[in-house]
Amino acid sequence: MPLTKEEYQRIYSLVDAQEDLEVYAGKLRLPRGVLEAVLTLKIIRRVKGSYHHLEKRSGELLEMWESGRSIADIARAVGFPPVLVARFLLSAMGFSRRKVKKLALGLESSGNPRLDAELLEAQRADFVFSREAHEKQRLRGMLGEEITREWLESKGAVFTSEDCMDRSHKTPDFLVSGLRVLGMPVAWVESKAVFADEEEHRLYMKKQLTHYLRCFGPGVVVYWYGYVDSLLGRSSELIILDYTFFSHPRIEVLLNGSIKGAEDGR
């Protein structure tokens, strides 16, 4: 079931850091993964709003680091993800763009033991922009598509997955025939391992979904971690679903935050 706009705004205001997830998952009786998806959305928007402003302060951040403050401490002080703060610092230190990327992701050594230790700490502390976070989001996307594929198979639908389509054009995850959802025949299904509020949905409509509707006809978008109910009814040809529509043993894995990245043994 979708969240009302009021429910979503309350969650958005309450969940402000990773340690809030377990606390409010119990209090709000929602899966941890839903709150995690909302927090990720919140952090990314915060970054978009202040990235360039903070980037201009790279020299000031470097002075803070040279005075003895750690990357993690600086990140807390400026309210910004530690991996991105690390990138600003590395750029201010004179490293090339390629080297900054490698160092910030922990793929190379800087030759400075203190800096390397703090870069590793930043990776561990960053909920959204670390290498592990990127890997977990990739795995969530893959799992959402796998569950969708198995659901289509269980419905007896004939479908073609995106990896078998012409990549030179925008295509949904699955083109389908012989499928009705909530009584409506649909021609495609798109799987998104995100929570969608109005802004997020508007972005996906602009980037993909409007094109799919125009080229392929009625379809389904699955926002696995939920969506706000104000999205319903905006298009008679678009069905919006979330995790509550499906029955699958691996949905619990998708929702409870137990997906592990490469550094956790995957």
- The confidence score (pLDDT) of residue 263 equals 39
- Nearest to residue 178, comparing CAs of 162, 191, 150, 159? 159
Residue where one domain finishes, among candidates 131, 155, 176:
131
Query: Is residue 131 predicted with pLDDT exceeding 80?
Result: yes
* Contact assessment for residue 147 and residue 251, using Cβ atoms and an 8 Å cutoff: yes
Are 43 and 152 contained in the same domain? Answer: no
CATH for 161: 3.40.1350
Least confident of 83-87, 134-138, 232-236: 232-236
Tokens of 173: 């995850």
- The confidence score (pLDDT) of residue 170 equals 86
Q: Which amino acid is at 86?
A: A
Q: Write the pLDDT tens digit of every residue in 45-55.
A: 999 999 999 99
Residue where one domain finishes, among candidates 131, 155, 186:
131
> What does the CA dihedral 164, 166, 170, 174 come to, rounded to 10 degrees?
-20
Are 68 and 112 contained in the same domain? Answer: yes
Give the model's confidence band at 166: pLDDT under 50 very low, under 70 low, under 90 confident, else very high.
low
Give me the domain span that covers residue 94.
5-131
Q: What order of strands is seen across the sheet that includes strand 238-241?
A: 158-161, 174-177, 188-192, 219-223, 238-241
Are 106 and 28 contained in the same domain? Answer: yes
Q: Which amino acid is at 204?
A: Y
Per the document, the length of the chain is 266
In the chain, the number of structural domains is: 2
- The confidence score (pLDDT) of residue 261 equals 46
Are 9 and 88 contained in the same domain? Answer: yes
- The confidence score (pLDDT) of residue 56 equals 95
Residue where one domain finishes, among candidates 131, 158, 180:
131
Are 147 and 125 contained in the same domain? Answer: no
Question: What percent of the chain stands above pLDDT 70?
Answer: 94
Are 147 and 104 contained in the same domain? Answer: no
Query: Is residue 199 predicted with pLDDT exceeding 90?
Result: yes
- The confidence score (pLDDT) of residue 165 equals 64
